[in-house]
Structure 1
Amino acid sequence: MSWTFLPAATGFARQRAAWAALNEAGRRSPLLDPDFVEPLLALPGHGTPVLAIRGEASAPQALLLLERQGLGRWRSFVPMQMPITPLVCQPGLDAGTLIGELITALPALLMSLDLLQLDPQFDPRPGPQAGYHELDYIETARITIDAPFESWWAGRSKNLRQNLNKQRNRFEREGVCLRLECVRDPAGVAAAIADYGRLESAGWKSEGGTAVSPDNAQGHFYREVLERFCRRGQGRIYRYFYDDHLVTTDLCIEHDGTLIVLKTTYDESIQGSSPAMLMRQAYLAELFADPGLRTIEFYGRAMDWHRRLTDDLRTIYHRGYIRWPQLRRLVHWLRDARHGTASPRETLEHAETER
């Protein structure tokens, strides 16, 4: 099958309708909606992303965003805001099939190709294959809405339920009003993102320079995405208050029955209560009552608080190809050394056994 490669800066706009149609035909993910993907291309610091087109440009069978990492080295385009590889394709195609075509179709000499952060619900793991390697990335969590909220909540741990009840009762005795707010009007997004940035910038993320701010690329990206989705009635910014004090907020988008929590932050100075969990208990009750929703996805690394809400976990993974055996041996050794499963000698002795 033939592939064409175009600069994404111009090619995506021309293929926007085709991208949307392929997402609707297959994965139907909010993360692969053009209103999420297009703002990714405006983020600084990512060179020149390339749009890979499988088949005729007038009726593509698959579309994928890639970026060059150096001479002969390619990978999927996954800025830190993007949890999965940006790939849309016809049903019956997946990353395991397409990577085999791409290694012969990419222009010039190919040394390596990595498709990063593949979600097994879209791209099942194909298993061992000569020349390829796989690496677990993170476990991520989701909640499936298949019961009334009350019965689902009763299935959470007794300790969690009692702890949150005690907190609510204490706030009631102290006269503190707990209030959930959901911003869905695009006109309210800019102020909500600014508030989000103030909370996050006061915490540990400010030290690493990754906090959202109304004036940085992160803030511009999330404002653009949430305004786009809110204009469609598919964006939500949940905010939780102790009286008039904003203590936590979640940024969410939805499409075709799936709601994704993109980012979450809270006031790290709060002691003696769990504002984020109190907020989620409140808004999960609303989401379970929404007949249009079936799944709540978190996509970040599964933390303790995720595991308190669900045991539905899956492993996001990387899949890559390296042309030369010597490089494959090094990759295998680094992978095994990372997990403490093999010594350099053991790996070199078994280097011809592809995993």
Structure 2
Amino acid sequence: MTWTLTPAGNYASHIPRWNELNAASVASPLLDAAFVAPLLDHFGTGRELLAICERGGRTVAMALLAPRGKGVWASFQPAQQPLCMWLSVPDEPLAPLLDGLLRALPGLPLLLGLTQCDPQLAPRPSAGARQRTLDYIDTARITLGGGYDAYWEARGKNLRANLKKQRNRLEREGVATRLQLSGAPEEMAAAVADYGRLESAGWKGGEGTAVHADNAQGRFYRAMLEAFCRRGAGCVARYWFGDRLVAMDLCVEGPDSVVVLKTAYDESVDKHFSPALLMREESFRLLFERGLQSLEFYGKVMPWHLQWTDEVRTMYHINYYRWPLLRQLHAKRSSTE
């Protein structure tokens, strides 16, 4: 087993085998090069490394890594990426891979971290003398099976009654609702600009964290969505009250799943209405009809997620230490904080 390190600026020349490894392992759209390459372009610092492991001429693992301070390397994890950028074939034990990579990294690192791992894609490993896992967040998914009518009937009475009440009120007030789906590459610039205006008008705009067509986030989402849409795997959902845009979702698809990346809604809408919930009632019906297997949220579970699903799992981090004593000291220190 041999690890090779190269600057992440060379990632483009390794895209074919990155995508091949993704397809052979987790098959996640968030680990497809169409998602990863724009992350590097817009959020990389130039210090990231692409790590490639081969055994007998076969690529068995790849990762994107970044330095995290003295003696520490970790998976490259910009805020726009919900998942750990690590890929490995299912039949390759994790601990020897991490041990080899830790020893191959420059600067005699003491700790290698893999952050935001999904147990749905890679089962949480057991603790070891040099390996420790930590809870990250609970996240939710929806299994898109059994038909929408059965799924909707299983939702809580409060959700169903509340949305019916909202629709009746909108009808009485003469407000027509409309779901608009956009999936052409040439539509993504306008879609991201619309999303940015919607998000910038809310609390994220006040904090300076909103997507905007001209900031790094906006440029990333545009480039990434255009790449997915060129192969029919990207979609932006807009929801309208009459001619007023009130909610949006940015989504990408994999072979059998769809991921809701970002959601924004008009926070000035009358509090009697929940534009994002109304949008999802309609858009989820369409997803059930598509034959996909699952819908992923990947954000921290919020009360509104639990109105749509009871499928919740805990994502996790992995710490791998150069020596067992370091693991013991780190665990002891963490338990006292």
Residue 53 (structure 1) shift:
0.5
Structure 2 Cα separation of the partners of residues 294 and 15 of structure 1: 29
Pairing of 1:42-57 with structure 2 (within 5 A): 42-44=41-43, 46-55=45-54
Q: Say which is worse superposed, 117-126 or 174-183, in terms of deviation.
A: 117-126
Which residue does the alignment assign to 1:294? 293
SS in 2 for 1:71: coil
Relative to structure 1, is the Cα distance of residues 113 and 83 closer, same or farther in structure 2, using a 3 angstrom cutoff? Answer: same
SS in 2 for 1:82: coil
1:207 and 2:213 correspond: no
Which residue does the alignment assign to 1:39? 38
Which residue does the alignment assign to 1:144? 143
Which residue does the alignment assign to 1:13? 12
Which residue does the alignment assign to 1:3? 3
Structure 1 Cα separation of the partners of residues 93 and 163 of structure 2: 42
RMSD between aligned alpha carbons? 1.8
Residue 323 (structure 1) shift:
3.5
Structure 2 Cα separation of the partners of residues 48 and 29 of structure 1: 25
1:219 and 2:218 correspond: yes
Q: Is the 8 A contact 2:198 2:265 kept in 1?
A: yes
Q: Is the 8 A contact 1:55 1:61 kept in 2?
A: yes
Structure 2 Cα separation of the partners of residues 241 and 333 of structure 1: 53
Q: Say which is worse superposed, 176-185 or 46-55, in terms of deviation.
A: 46-55
Residue 185 (structure 1) shift:
1.1
Q: Say which is worse superposed, 176-185 or 66-75, in terms of deviation.
A: 66-75
Relative to structure 1, is the Cα distance of residues 45 and 240 closer, same or farther in structure 2, using a 3 angstrom cutoff? Answer: same
Relative to structure 1, is the Cα distance of residues 199 and 95 closer, same or farther in structure 2, using a 3 angstrom cutoff? Answer: farther
Structure 2 Cα separation of the partners of residues 272 and 215 of structure 1: 33
Q: Is the 8 A contact 1:4 1:52 kept in 2?
A: yes
Residue deviations 1:34-70 (CA, integer Å, cap 9, x gap): 1001111112463421000001697422111111123
Relative to structure 1, is the Cα distance of residues 337 and 158 closer, same or farther in structure 2, using a 3 angstrom cutoff? Answer: farther
Which residue does the alignment assign to 1:254? 253
1:283 and 2:283 correspond: yes
Which residue does the alignment assign to 1:353? none
SS in 2 for 1:140: strand
Structure 1 Cα separation of the partners of residues 172 and 311 of structure 2: 36
Which residues of structure 2 form unaligned runs of 5+? none
Structure 2: which amino acid aligns with 1:284? F
Q: Is the 8 A contact 1:177 1:242 kept in 2?
A: yes
Q: Is the 8 A contact 1:96 1:126 kept in 2?
A: no
Q: Say which is worse superposed, 130-139 or 246-255, in terms of deviation.
A: 130-139
Structure 2: which amino acid aligns with 1:282? E
Residue 108 (structure 1) shift:
3.3
Q: Is the 8 A contact 2:43 2:78 kept in 1?
A: no
Structure 1 Cα separation of the partners of residues 86 and 324 of structure 2: 28
Structure 2: which amino acid aligns with 1:42? D
Which residue does the alignment assign to 1:322? 321
Q: Is the 8 A contact 1:18 1:59 kept in 2?
A: no
Which residue does the alignment assign to 2:188? 189
Relative to structure 1, is the Cα distance of residues 95 and 326 closer, same or farther in structure 2, using a 3 angstrom cutoff? Answer: closer
SS in 1 for 2:133: strand
Structure 2 Cα separation of the partners of residues 168 and 332 of structure 1: 52
Which residue does the alignment assign to 1:125? 124
Structure 2 Cα separation of the partners of residues 264 and 67 of structure 1: 28
SS in 2 for 1:163: helix
Residue 98 (structure 1) shift:
2.5
Q: Is the 8 A contact 1:43 1:217 kept in 2?
A: yes
Structure 2: which amino acid aligns with 1:262? L
Structure 2 Cα separation of the partners of residues 331 and 91 of structure 1: 29
1:160 and 2:159 correspond: yes
Which residues of structure 1 form unaligned runs of 5+? 339-355
Residue 89 (structure 1) shift:
2.3
